[in-house]
Amino acid sequence: MSEYENEWMLDAELATLGVRAGQVRSAEGEHSEPIFMTSSYVFSSAEEAAERFDGSSPGNVYSRYTNPTVRMFEERLAAMEKAEACAATSSGMAAILSVCMSQLASGDEVVCSKSVFGTTTALFNRYLAKMGVITHFVSLTDIDAWRSAINTKTKLLFIETPSNPTNDTVSIRTMSEIAHSVGALLVVDNCFSTPALQRPLEHGADLVVHSATKFIDGQGRALGGAVCGAKQHIDEVVVFLRTCGPTMSAFNAWIFLKGLETLALRMNAHSDNALQIAQFLEAHPLVKKVHYCGLDSHRGHEIAQHQMSKFGGVLGFELIGARAQAWSFINATKICSLTANLGDAKTTIVHPATTTHGRLSAKEREEAGISETLIRLCVGLESVEDLITDLKRGFASLQ
Ligand SMILES: *Cc1c(COP(=O)(O)O)cnc(C)c1O
């Protein structure tokens, strides 16, 4: 548990932590968290300045190092993830980069799920490869493949569960055991579930990364990210951030603090809406398959039930037909926003095969389960009846 923690936090529920954890009031007695828009800080004497710089006295020096608003966000998210510590970053990709840069050196190896965020794959392939780090990509659910991909050079295992957009799941506990058998760390990108639905550290993961841009903000306003885990690892991430610079701005930290206040409520509503929509789609004669790990029929349901409290807002469904049917469906909806983004109060709809996964080869898409009629929905906070009416417009366009 965090060094800044108050005693009341020890047995507080997630909803309470989201509203209150990490707040430090200034002498002004403000009720809401203030935004400290300052790049640097003043010292009361030359002696104090020297102590701040050599680290013998705690306190702020410069906002690339620490900022009070950013620290409140870090403390709040750490409390919610049940992490000892958290470091905030300028984006989700900066969070993943900071884990790699603090943990990996030339000659090390990474084993990464094939079903991760596309830019994560590009980071490993384009930049880490250039620095002599080899990444092996394996199917998320193929446990034997993970076991054969690890060796004594393996330093990180990287997963997203549930995966996007097919909602495949893997046991975080099993993956952590595989990682630890060779002394590697398990990193979980928890951006789809957030700590409101899944806390990977409680299941043996070593590091959790977030794109705060998605559900933590939840209203599509700002870019940010975070890494949560043991203090020992987060201290190394912080050294990278201080040295290389992709820190979170105070203004964005304030947006995310406000996002965390409603996170538990919102994730519940996203999940309830998504489950109702998944059930509606599953019963529809023009739907070939629904990929939502909240459905009993989904292959990832049992694992999801074990490590998640609800199943989130992202689902995929395949229509009967071909690409033309999927495009017609998407074009006929009026409420859903056609955008590749997700984790927003506004429901989003996209055709992965020609957008988010468009750069993959046909074979890679097939392996990832991205068919020509697959549509991804990230179910928002609108009335679920209105959303179902909107999806009916999509189906009507196919008749
Ligand atoms: C969006 C996203 C990222 C990258 O986050 P940014 O904030 O856009 O840099 C990483 N992982 C997942 C799962 C995402 O959806």
> What pLDDT score does 10 carry?
80
Ligand 1 pocket test, candidate residues 98, 117, 210, most atoms within 8 A of CB? 117
Q: How confident is the model at residue 345 (pLDDT cuts 50, 70, 90)?
A: very high
- Per residue, what are the HEC states of the chain? CCCCCCHHHHHCCHHHHHHHCCCCCCCCCCCCCCCCCCCECCCCCHHHHHHHHHCCCCCCCECCCCCHHHHHHHHHHHHHHCCCEEEEECCHHHHHHHHHHHHCCCCCEEEEECCCCHHHHHHHHHHHHHHCCEEEEECCCCHHHHHHHCCCCEEEEEECCCCCCCCCCCCHHHHHHHHHCCCCEEEEECCCCHHHHCCHHHHCCCEEEEECCCCCCCCCCCCCEEEEECHHHHHHHHHHHHHHCCCCCHHHHHHHHHHHHCHHHHHHHHHHHHHHHHHHHHCCCCEEEEECCCCCCCCCHHHHHHHCCCCCCEEEEEECCCHHHHHHHHHHCCCCEECCCCCCCCCEEECHHHCCCCCCCHHHHHHCCCCCCEEEEECCCCCHHHHHHHHHHHHHCCC
CA 36 to chain centre: 26
pLDDT at 359: 83
pTM of model > 0.85 = yes
Rounded to the nearest angstrom, the distance between the alpha carbon of 211 and the centre of ligand 1 is 5
Give the tens place of pLDDT for each residue, 16-72: 999 999 999 999 999 999 999 999 999 999 999 999 999 898 899 999 999 999 999
pLDDT of residue 1: 42
| Cβ–Cβ under 8 Å, residues 168 and 396 | no
- Residue nearest ligand 1's atom 1 by CA: 211
Q: What pLDDT does residue 154 have?
A: 98
Q: For a pLDDT cut of 70, what percent of the chain falls above it? A: 99
Ligand 1: nearest atom to the Cα of 342: 15
Q: What is the pLDDT of residues 146-199, one digit of tens each?
A: 999 999 999 999 999 999 999 999 999 999 999 999 999 999 999 999 999 999
Nearest CA to ligand 1 atom 8: 92
Cβ-count burial of 317 within 10 angstroms (0-12 exposed, 13-18 middle, 19+ buried)?
buried
89, 90, 91, 93, best to mutate for ligand 1 pocket (most atoms within 8 Å of CB):
93
Least confident of 4-18, 106-120, 271-285: 4-18
Question: What would the pLDDT profile of 86-115 be if each residue is shown by its tens digit?
Answer: 999 999 999 999 999 999 999 999 999 999
Q: What is the mean pLDDT of the chain?
A: 95
